Amino acid sequence: LDKPNQILRTDDLRKAFGGLVATDGASIAVEEGTITGMIGPNGAGKSTLFNLISGFYDPDDGRVWVNDTDVTDKKPHETARAGLVRTFQTPRRLEDMTVREAMLVGARPQTGESILPLWLSPSTVTREERANIERAEELLERFEIAHLIDEPSAELSGGQLKLVELARAITTSPDILLLDEPVAGVNPTLANDIKRFVRELNDEGQTFLIIEHDMPFIMDLADPVIVLDQGKVLMEGTPEEVRSDRRVIDAYLGG
Ligand code: ADP
Ligand code: MG
């Protein structure tokens, strides 16, 4: 990477779906220790960029670096191993699991494989996985949802699910955590809690890249903020710079 403090960099990423160019030469960098925000009108390509970065999509062109690793054509679990983990706009794969089971899936970074069977034969659980499980339990306490651990995740509110998803992602201690709309559909009280947890984790050194539509939330939390429009970076700046930029206002009005 260009600078040693860059944890993530994309170079000129491109992705088309048929004739629709969703990502059109997006180059971004995230510095260690920041909460970097990503905003942009609906359809700007924010989620697609996350999918390209985290290995859920392969780009047509361009490169992605995490720490010193070129993860451009890597699968999600390989990208996770390089230090980058993401959450989904709509939490997935939780339907028929309890919170505990969902957390155990998180304990083995993004292979999609549950370690629940391994949990029953402790000799096959690695020290790292055991540490991750302990961290998961700690996080549930901290997020004030420890009492839900044996609930079927289907019974949880949207906001509680977001917290489980966040806890799950953090259990593996990623160098950088990507959150896709962490407070979408979440009530204001819980949104404030999520803001506080993100800020606390950042104070402890966790780097974040966060997509969010809720402007007060992201402008309060993030610096810098990257503005995406039509698959490209329109601008990057402090919340103040972004708020007062004519191009940003036009993109939202035109969007
Ligand atoms: P955002 O998250 O900024 O709202 P998206 O990245 O979800 O935007 O979408 C960008 C554009 O790419 C949209 O026009 C969307 O319809 C299209 N798109 C995203 N994913 C796919 C896909 N898997 N297949 C076809 N089109 C897609
Ligand atoms: Mg999106």
Whether the pLDDT of residue 29 is over 80: the answer is yes
The minimum-distance atom of ligand 1 relative to the CA of 228 is 3
Return d(Cα 146, Cα 164) in angstroms, integer. 10
How many Cβ atoms sit within 10 Å of the Cβ of residue 152? 15
pLDDT(64) > 70 = yes
Taking each helix axis from N to C end, the angle separating 158-170 and 188-203, rounded to the nearest 10 degrees, works out to 10
- Would the pLDDT of 3 be above 80? no
ipTM of model = 0.98
DSSP H/E element including 132 = helix 127-142
Residue closest to 46 by CA, chosen among 28, 31, 30: 28
Domains of the chain and CATH, by start:
1-83+174-255 (3.40.50.300), 95-172 (no CATH)
Ligand that lies nearest to the alpha carbon of residue 90, given by its number in the listed order? 2
Is 122 a residue whose pLDDT tops 70?
A: no
Between these two residues, 227 and 105, which has the higher pLDDT value? 227
Residue 92: what pLDDT? 62
- DSSP helix/strand/coil, 63: strand
The whole-angstrom separation of Cα 84 and Cα 91 is 17
Q: ∠225-227-232 over CA atoms, to 5°?
A: 140
For residues 34 and 3, the model is more confident at 34
What pLDDT score does 255 carry? 52
Q: Decide whether any atom of ligand 1 lies within 6 Å of the 17 Cβ.
A: yes
- Please indicate whether residue 36, judged by its CB atom, sits closer than 6 Å to ligand 1: no
Confidence of residue 177 (pLDDT cuts 50, 70, 90): very high
Ligand positioned closest to the Cα atom of 232: 1
* pLDDT above 80: residue 96: no
Q: Is 203 exposed, middle or buried (0-12, 13-18, 19+ CB in 10 A)?
A: exposed
Stretch 48-54: mean pLDDT, rounded?
Answer: 97
Which pLDDT score is estimated for 6?
Answer: 95
Expressed in angstroms and rounded, the spacing between residue 132 Cα and the centre of ligand 2 is: 29
User: Given the DSSP bridges, would you call strands 207-211 and 35-39 parallel, antiparallel or unpaired?
Assistant: parallel
